[in-house]
Structure 1
């Protein structure tokens, strides 16, 4: 059981409360110091910084440097999370990642490849159907720099979100609540609300949160049904990487030198909801057939066993960390 892997470390509630706050501080505050410093060093950038306008910041620094500094925040956050889990919870990164004995890199690669192909096809089809909405934006040198930054840093960014939400928070809430449905619900809502200040929300309205929260539920279901983060890690990385490299717009969170620029007027419509109510269910069906998932109700809403019962059945307690 994925959530119960937390029992192989130290699981007192105070450790999770401190960890959630400490990692968030490292991620959002300490992680933002390099970006702030870079902006402060630019002339007339204080007002831009105070405005919080991501587009203006990207113009001040340049799109590729701005993207790097933004993604660096997630790298600092992920490092702080791993350090906290290892030294405070005495839990291995493998146990934070999966219920399997080893991280299944094949699962990560399969989910990454599947969604890369599908999302790329969707983008190509949309460009063919609505060519007036896109401008070919390819510039060799900026694109090559973008590709290096994106390929290296975006999987780190998406991994931070997955390990923090579907990993640390889901395990912590699960062992405290002793069930699966509460961590699924809470982490999915938090994932959606975490995007509340994205520029997409300002342009499209609060209805776009249905997409973000729905995506949170999809990734949470992947995690609980597959008893690990591997599929959600692969899917999330593919989703953000294809978006960064293929299409950008001046009203999105990612401001990049991508292949195409979307110049259409953003409107919240049915196309925003298609992934949540059509594509994600189809993907869950595909994953369920490939990995032979069963007992959906128990895996998504069932109880998490007590620490004593789980350790008695799964672990030699003499190998566990001592609680100081």
Structure 2
């Protein structure tokens, strides 16, 4: 289990290295934002319109912005911290694609099962709305460009930041908790927060952050959360979307009526994530969950 150790024993980890990495990442983010900004200005899209689906080109350019975060962090890890990009992705010797695919596949089964139950209980909530060409265009964007968005969030939160926080933390649960709260704050501007309320929405977002963070540390790398996060967003954008989501007007295959988010639904979603973690523990042969309470080796260091 070397995910935390990758940052501690390899390369450079001074506070200035961290600041330079942030600056470089912001620079990359600005560069990859330019195509979307230019396209929006030429098209005369208003701020309100940009919050809704404006076609596959605009959607692709918006998702492409996240590639700046992804590549900025990977380049800075290599050039500033002087360690391999792989070291911020996994504690294994090679990137474990089979973990990514298997975890994503299992999460797809979970999401499908939950929607099938929802359809059986309330079929009127679902509308099949296949518009072939817009749907195929959306599908292409989701396959080719959506990975930039989900991977950027994972590499930033569960990769780089978790490792950096791990440098100044005594116990493994500390970076998990801190990055989970940051993950919730990152999504604080989503329309669901206004629609369903801060408490319930943040419980779900922070809960999802804990889910991803625990999977990262138990599996010693980002492969599992990368697969789950991509499938989760792919499912929401392409297969089953709902009214009032972060992007209204997306030509998903099935549109679901928006419903009130009750505390019962929040608890159910959290319970599902706990069950999935238990399944993953057995399937991927993880250590006991007491591992999360253990000390990070070399945690006496005061470097960032």
Does residue 125 (structure 1) correspond to residue 117 (structure 2)? The answer is yes
1:208-253 superposed Cα distances (whole Å, 9 cap, x missing partner): 1100000000110011111111111111111111111112234211
1:11 paired residue number: 13
1:270 paired residue number: 264
Instruction: State the secondary structure of the residue aligned to 2:83.
Output: coil
What is the CA distance between 1:308 and its match in structure 2? 11
| 2:184 equivalent among 179, 188, 192 | 192
1:231-287 superposed Cα distances (whole Å, 9 cap, x missing partner): 1111111111111111223421134211112233444442233121x1111111111
Cα distance in 2 between the residues matched to 1:269 and 1:20:
37
How many aligned positions are there?
Answer: 297
Cα distance in 2 between the residues matched to 1:99 and 1:281:
23
Structure 1 range deviating more: 192-201 or 90-99: 90-99
Structure 2 CA distance for partners of 1:76 and 1:131, relative to 1, 3 Å: same
| Matching of residues 281-296 of structure 1 within 5 Å | 281-296=274-289
8 Å CA contact 1:184, 1:220 repeated in 2? yes
| Matching of residues 48-197 of structure 1 within 5 Å | 48-49=46-47, 53=48, 56-57=49-50, 62-197=54-189
Instruction: State the secondary structure of the residue aligned to 2:255.
Output: strand
What is the CA distance between 1:25 and its match in structure 2? 5.2
| 1:23 equivalent among 22, 25, 37 | 25
Structure 1: which 5+ residue stretches go unaligned? 310-324
1:64-123 superposed Cα distances (whole Å, 9 cap, x missing partner): 233212211112221111111111111112211111111111111100111112212222
8 Å CA contact 2:51, 2:246 repeated in 1? no
| 2:237 equivalent among 241, 244, 256 | 244
8 Å CA contact 1:170, 1:183 repeated in 2? yes
Structure 2: which 5+ residue stretches go unaligned? none
TM-score by length of 1: 0.85
Does residue 261 (structure 1) correspond to residue 255 (structure 2)? The answer is yes
2:228 paired residue number: 235
Cα distance in 2 between the residues matched to 1:274 and 1:295:
24
2:207 paired residue number: 214
1:320 paired residue number: none
1:33 paired residue number: 34
What is the CA distance between 1:293 and its match in structure 2? 2.0
Backbone CA RMSD of aligned residues = 2.1
1:1-59 superposed Cα distances (whole Å, 9 cap, x missing partner): 211111212111221233235424533x443332222121124x3xx22xxx3xx2265
